[in-house]
Amino acid sequence: MQNSWWRETVVYQIYPRSFFDSNGDGIGDLDGIIAKLDHLADLGVGTIWFSPFYASPQRDVGYDICDYRTVAPEYGDLATVDRLIQAVHARGMKVVMDMVMNHTSDQHPWFVESRSSRDNPKRDWYVWHDGRKPGGKAPPNNWNAMIGGSGWHYDAPTDQWFWTQFLPFQPDLNYRNPEVQAEMLGTLRFWLDRGVDGFRLDIVNALFEDAEFRDNPFAWRLIPSDDDPRMLFQGSDRTLNLPETLAFMKELRRVVDGYPGDRFLVGEVNAPIEMAQAHCCDGHGLNLVFLFRSLKAALKPATIRELVSEYDRLFPDPLIPTWVFGNHDRARRISRLGGDMARARLNAAWQLTARGVPFLYYGEEVGMVQRPIPARDSQDALVLRMQWVPQFVYDAIRSLMGESINRDECRTPMQWDGTATAGFCAQGVKPWLPLPDDLGGRTVADQAGNPDSLLECYRRFLHARRENPALHRGDLALLDAAETGKDVVGWRRTADGQTVVVLLNATNRAHTLRNPAPGGTLVVSTDGRRTDAAAPELVLAPWEGLVVRTAG
Ligand code: GLC
Ligand code: CA
């Protein structure tokens, strides 16, 4: 158990629509992914997580599913998935599918049936309730959806309300119904039987709601954070993180544990970090949970030290933290770092050497930045539902919070080369989302082979991590700031008789310090030209991060 592969892996997230278009419709597809797998094998990641490619009306780019056991035609079909799984496995990598258990599309035949009449056998597959006032004209209670605003929607023909935790076209399944549980666990088995190695579970802390439909409490909080989803003066006690949901994590775990090969679950749990951890049920629930505090963490020595130590403390063996700096919902990390490649290299060094499972987001390895897209040209359903919001509000949020509400901006096509389509699709084809006006060398072709590039830095760290047990399975002890100087963060990791020291200079000044591992061997550095780190005094360049293996 302690050495399960998933504890030691590095996960790379592919957004299928944006990775590579193999058939000229401007939309990425599964054959396109197969064609590009060597890039990932060379990069050195161990596991690929695919955002959903199931049948879907694509109103939330696949997070609105209308058949969990088929594939959207623009991506391929089941036979293509089988080939994809085989091709990934043939390269020694693993496959993680995205599973949206909380809700379906409102086009799913289950929901179409469910809303057709109050006594339809599928009625109770979703969360329906009478309205409060006579004539049912007020929602059943005060529950807000995760994205703000009441999550209740009135259905006139049957005179009841249905609940959505996310967008109005994503009705929540009713997990109090054993049929729903059985069906969804069966869906996991369907894919496990096809050979997938794990699942990423979408908003999995939202599965159950209060059985008595009691109001959510008042909360002194307007704007949510990555640690605390309470907002618009409302808590989420009755709609998120219910004891029933936590207990169900163990059911899910039993399903994956019933298969050979250490399959695993990673959950998206938007909650305070202790609550996210609680979904691991002391090692009997989710294997991993995403930790989102890192997304916006400053790239400063004190912040890095604090986060590394907190994650380590809250996720002691057999738990293990995750390191997430970006995904398909959030502003790209490098854009929060001013687009700067040197900072991005140091950030990679941090992510790939701390104790925990790193999650990379496609394009991060070449420094892809946010592509600003005006709200009126957006396809993201979160933006479409707020079309009355003037553009300057989006701009203000971007500059005040460093965050983009328009998720299209982090979902643009993968930048393979410097051609007009960035090598994502054939020349002359229009990609489904626009590319940046200037790729600025942030492409695979531009960076491959150049030791100063971000791409080669990722490669070096990923390979070093793979080859050195201390880096992929070691325990972690922070070095004292008195030892490293306050500008440098350091930690020591040990496993299988090997000890390495990680040193990160998280400032724009060079820094000299007493080498904590004198006479040691350089394992890897963000500086692709550095050859040793044995001297008693070490000089770290601005934003340099390196790993030294101790002598003996
Ligand atoms: C998760 C996904 C997001 C999706 C939402 C609803 O937060 O990451 O992309 O829109 O759930 O499924
Ligand atoms: Ca295509």
Q: Which of 544, 492, 522 has the alpha carbon at shortest distance from 345? A: 544
Ligand 1 centroid distance, CA of 382 (Å): 10
Q: Find all residues with CB under 8 Å of 318, minimum gap 6, and list them.
A: 1, 2, 283
What span, in angstroms and rounded, lies between the C-alpha atoms of 254 and 105? 27
Q: Give the pLDDT confidence score for residue 1 in this predicted structure.
A: 44
Ligand 2 centroid distance, CA of 443 (Å): 20
The single residue of 202, 408, 409, 527 carrying the catalytic annotation is: 202
The dihedral sign for the CA sequence 168, 169, 171, 172: negative
Q: Find all residues with CB under 8 Å of 448, minimum gap 6, and list them.
A: 455, 456
What span, in angstroms and rounded, lies between the C-alpha atoms of 339 and 32? 28
Q: Which of 474, 464, 462 has the alpha carbon at shortest distance from 317? A: 474
Q: Find all residues with CB under 8 Å of 186, minimum gap 6, and list them.
A: none
Q: Which of 484, 536, 476, 535 has the alpha carbon at shortest distance from 506? A: 484
* 54, 99, 166, best to mutate for ligand 1 pocket (most atoms within 8 Å of CB): 166
What span, in angstroms and rounded, lies between the C-alpha atoms of 360 and 241? 26
The answer to whether 11 and 45 are in contact (CB under 8 A) is yes
Residue numbers of the chain with a pLDDT score lower than 50:
1
The C-alpha torsion from 81 through 82 and 87 to 88, rounded to 10°, is 70
What span, in angstroms and rounded, lies between the C-alpha atoms of 241 and 247? 10
| Residue 509: alpha-carbon gap to chain centroid | 32
**Element holding 539 (H helix, E strand):** strand 537-540
Q: Find all residues with CB under 8 Å of 227, minimum gap 6, and list them.
A: 272, 273, 292, 293
Ligand 2 centroid distance, CA of 326 (Å): 24
* 525 phi, psi to nearest 5 deg: -140, 155
* 65, 203, 290, 406, best to mutate for ligand 1 pocket (most atoms within 8 Å of CB): 203
Q: Which of 353, 373, 381, 359 has the alpha carbon at shortest distance from 506? A: 353
Measured from CB, residues less than 6 Å from any atom of ligand 1 are: 60, 63, 100, 166, 202-203, 268, 328-329
Long-range contacts at 128-134 (CB < 8 A, ≥ 24 apart): 128/155, 128/158, 128/160, 128/161, 128/162, 128/163, 129/160, 129/161, 129/163, 129/213, 130/159, 130/160, 130/161, 131/159, 131/160, 131/161
**Does the active-site annotation cover 403?**
no
What span, in angstroms and rounded, lies between the C-alpha atoms of 386 and 394? 10
- Domain limits, the chain: 5-103+178-208+243-375+414-447, 475-549
- Residue of minimum CA distance from atom 12 in ligand 1: 63
Q: Find all residues with CB under 8 Å of 153, minimum gap 6, and list them.
A: 161, 162, 163, 164, 168
Ligand 1 centroid distance, CA of 544 (Å): 35
The dihedral sign for the CA sequence 449, 451, 452, 453: positive
**Strands 322-324 and 357-361, sheet pairing:** parallel
How many CB atoms within 10 Å of residue 5? 15
The single residue of 197, 268, 312, 364 carrying the catalytic annotation is: 268
The 8-class DSSP code of residue 496 comes to T
CA distances from 399 to 156, 308, 337, 393, 403 (A): 42, 27, 13, 10, 8
What span, in angstroms and rounded, lies between the C-alpha atoms of 177 and 52? 25
**Does the active-site annotation cover 202?**
yes
Q: Give the pLDDT confidence score for residue 535 in this predicted structure.
A: 96
State the distance between the two ends of the chain, measured CA to CA, in whole angstroms: 29
Tokens of 360: 């990379």
In CATH terms, the superfamily for domain 5-103+178-208+243-375+414-447 is: Glycosidases (3.20.20.80)
In CATH terms, the superfamily for domain 475-549 is: Golgi alpha-mannosidase II (2.60.40.1180)
Q: Find all residues with CB under 8 Å of 323, minimum gap 6, and list them.
A: 291, 294, 311, 350, 351, 354, 356, 357, 358, 359
Q: Find all residues with CB under 8 Å of 4, minimum gap 6, and list them.
A: 262, 264, 287
Tokens of 327: 């995904």
What span, in angstroms and rounded, lies between the C-alpha atoms of 162 and 174? 10
Q: Give the pLDDT confidence score for residue 520 in this predicted structure.
A: 97
* 6 phi, psi to nearest 5 deg: -70, -20
DSSP result, 42-111: HHT--EEEEPP-EE---TTTTSS-SEEEEE-TTT--HHHHHHHHHHHHHTT-EEEEEE--SB--TTSHHH
Q: Give the pLDDT confidence score for residue 2 in this predicted structure.
A: 58
What span, in angstroms and rounded, lies between the C-alpha atoms of 97 and 197? 8
The 8-class DSSP code of residue 204 comes to G
The answer to whether 366 and 444 are in contact (CB under 8 A) is yes
Q: Give the pLDDT confidence score for residue 390 in this predicted structure.
A: 83
Tokens of 454: 């971000």
